Structure 1
């Protein structure tokens, strides 16, 4: 069988699968599931073109990793074929642990288990199936490989994951401000003292990258209407779980019903292999099919939330740079309780509050380091002629409250 396949990608053109191992990973059912999980969850409610999947993103990130490795190799950095393949396998699988609706339901399926932990567990299962050939990829993914710059390519403030999702999400949403010059950034990468650095001549490309990232976060990832939709689907799942655990009949696919019934942690995964088998069968279709059924459910909260999401009757959302006054929040809750005839214990399903925050660059952590012409390594935020990056490193927080539009006029 010919395993040297080529994908035609709308963002980069032709993407080559350079090894049989990578092809086998892509063909595996665990990876093919990513075709059925949208990259941006419910963002399509605001940007109708945002229909691309985690499958698209993983292939794009693999493509950029290949470019990065070739660029580093051309600068006399010794990289073996095994390291190259392992790096591409690591980035190919970095999101394989995402569940339905990606980040929106990340903590609704399991009890505080981030998708990175699930990804690693799936990689361990695949490593067993592939006879140990993914061990180096796992070492790179977990930052336990001695050559640390490989992990930085997979996960850092300037990794190929971010480079792809900014370009790809910009392309599919039509938000042109998010487009970045990934090719130039990758060509500016180098390795110094086993750390990933950017050559000094690429410093303005970094600034452009960080500005684009900030714009994409506020215009796309944390768009207020997207936040409202994500809070609604989260509350739908929480209500369905509560009813299921109270022995109320809540129809769903067998695997989704299992996760609604159980409160699971990572320890449960490790103890019972059948749990992971159920998880890798879950995707967006399970949740949407269930929501369509729940729109007719006798529970008025579950049916109201589900039908509202299906018909895009999204909740009103208000943003504030400071916390909302308790008097205002209590007033909104009382209006909701009175209008929908629900109890104080139930009102949190229809009145949600929280906080969103973003800083495009975290100075002082895993820095983006610049290699100067004098062979000095400095944090990009400390470059004297880049005050914008210092500004971008400041965290911006916004508080929000969401509630049904049925009571919006009353609340105001």
Structure 2
């Protein structure tokens, strides 16, 4: 067998050349679990709004690892002690933090698995890989879970200013063309420091943090919660729910072996055994797209129409309001649909539904972003900032939506 060159370099459109730090990282990237991320879209159905948003979780994971390399380099330069073992664990944890995402990133969490988050599935994958890699991932798992004794290492993985957010804001901004989300990751990382085992940002970086938080708010309203992307994801969730309902009633649907398993079984976290892990590792966007292309010709009125809507981008109409949607408004749309197509109310509810969306750019009482002054004083970014609107970003903003069919369906 020919030995592989493990000193690979990735040419990333955001950061330029990304280097692989060691052979363990190389072997994890080469693993089939991680290669699957090439087939998982980073932004779900957002490509139906922003045509360039076809980047994947694979791109994002490598970008996060690159930023983590920069963060470790910066903190060591400032005298923060990070051992070789901790360094490798950080790289592994951030590389694998999203390995548990299902097809189209979030749709599966709300449809064909029962109450399981992608973080929980990521942890299952990491534990599985740890056994395969003879315990090499043990420290990375502790950091990923937030259990490690050195708090700032956990904050680099998951906090309000972590490498995950730093990458996805900049990357998603680039691929969507929404310049409001473009942040200066290099300056943010350069301004990082550690005090009393907690991550802080030096005073000179205060404006970069302000830009980061404002960019996050813009990206959520303008991109992640865009009404067209929102209704498309809701349709995808309901399409999978309908498929699962039909299969549970004995209807045979054409789909891949991996998708079959999750349609046929009630998969909870407790039931997520090795068989489920192996089949989940085979499941990606292409399974769903292939199934939709087949199901658009199915006899079932609901499944057929939901698939056609997504494939042809002929989506439901969506209205977003500041106040909750009145029940009689929803009922009138359901009634009209029942009468027009002679379907049940249960079936009509797949096409007429309400919900809410919320955006809070900064949670002031949860893992605060702290500013370190030259005097040694530490202060939360909201109090440190002279931006009056930064306080407003701490308050959750909730909006309400109703979706219903256009004239034709």
Q: 1:242 to 1:21 in 2, by over 3 A?
A: same
2:278 corresponding residue in structure 1: 277
Is structure 2 residue 348 aligned with structure 1 residue 378? Answer: no
Distance in 1 (alpha carbons) for counterparts of 2:408 and 2:23:
58
After superposition, residues 5-24 of structure 1 pair within 5 angstroms as: 5-24=8-27
Does the residue aligned with 1:266 lie in a helix, a strand or coil?
coil
| Pairing 1:179-190 to 2, within 5 Å after superposition | 179-190=182-193
Q: Distance in 1 between matches of 2:85 and 2:6?
A: 18
1:184-207, Cα deviation, whole Å (9 max, x unpaired) = 000000000000011111111100
Say which of 81, 85, 103 aligns to 2:84: 81
Aligned counterpart, 1:118: 121
Q: 1:198-245, CA deviations, whole angstroms, 9 ceiling, x for partnerless residues?
A: 111111110000111100001110000000100111110010000000
Q: 1:355, 1:384 → 2: CA distance?
A: 31
Please give the secondary structure, in 2, of the residue aligned with 1:204: helix
- What is residue 133 of structure 2 aligned with on the other side? 130
CA distance in 1: counterparts of 2:220 and 2:356, whole angstroms: 14
2:150–2:197 Cα contact (<8 Å) kept: yes
Residues 68, 384 of structure 1: alpha-carbon distance in 2 compared, 3 angstrom cutoff: closer
- 3-state DSSP class of the match of 1:33? helix
Alpha-carbon distance between aligned partners in 1 of 2:178 and 2:369, rounded to the nearest angstrom: 25
Aligned to 1:345: 346
C-alpha separation in 1, matches of 2:93 and 2:339: 52
Report if aligned partners of 2:210, 2:385 keep a CA contact under 8 Å in 1. Answer: no
Question: What is the match of residue 250 of structure 1?
Answer: 253
Partner residue in 2 for 1:369: 370
Q: How many residues align?
A: 406
Contact 1:207–1:388 at 8 Å: present in 2 too? no
Q: Distance in 2 between matches of 1:2 and 1:304?
A: 49
The answer as to whether partners of 1:336 and 1:407 remain within 8 angstroms in 2 is no
Match of 1:354 in 2: 355
> Equivalents in 1 of 2:115, 2:371: separation in Å?
35
Q: Distance in 2 between matches of 1:205 and 1:388?
A: 15
Question: 1:2: how far off?
Answer: 2.1
Q: For the aligned residues, what is the CA RMSD?
A: 1.1
Q: TM-score normalised to the size of structure 1?
A: 0.97
Q: Give the Cα separation in 2 of the matches to 1:330 and 1:176.
A: 40
Determine the C-alpha separation between the residues in 1 that align with 2:379 and 2:106: 33
Aligned-partner Cα distance in 2 for 1:308–1:107: 19
* 8 Å Cα contact 1:231/1:352 also seen in 2: no
CA-CA distance at 1:384 after TM superposition: 5.3
1:407 & 1:399 partners in 2: Cα distance?
24
| Cα deviation code 1:10-48 (max 9, x no counterpart) | 111000001111001100000000000000011000000
Mapping of residues 207-356 of structure 1, within 5 Å: 207-269=210-272, 272-356=273-357
8 Å CA contact 1:34, 1:96 repeated in 2: yes
Could you say if the C-alpha distance between residues 285 and 238 of structure 1 is closer, same or farther in structure 2, counting changes exceeding 3 Å? same
Q: Hey, what does 1:154 align to over in structure 2?
A: 157
TM-score (norm 2): 0.98
Equivalent-residue separation in structure 1 for 2:110 and 2:125 (angstroms)? 17
Structure 1 runs (4+) deviating above 4 angstroms are: none
> Do residues 107 (structure 1) and 110 (structure 2) align?
yes
Query: Is 1:98 paired with 2:101?
Result: yes
> Matched residues in 2 for 1:165 and 1:127: separation?
26
5+ residue gaps, structure 1: none
Compute the displacement of 1:407 (Å). 6.2
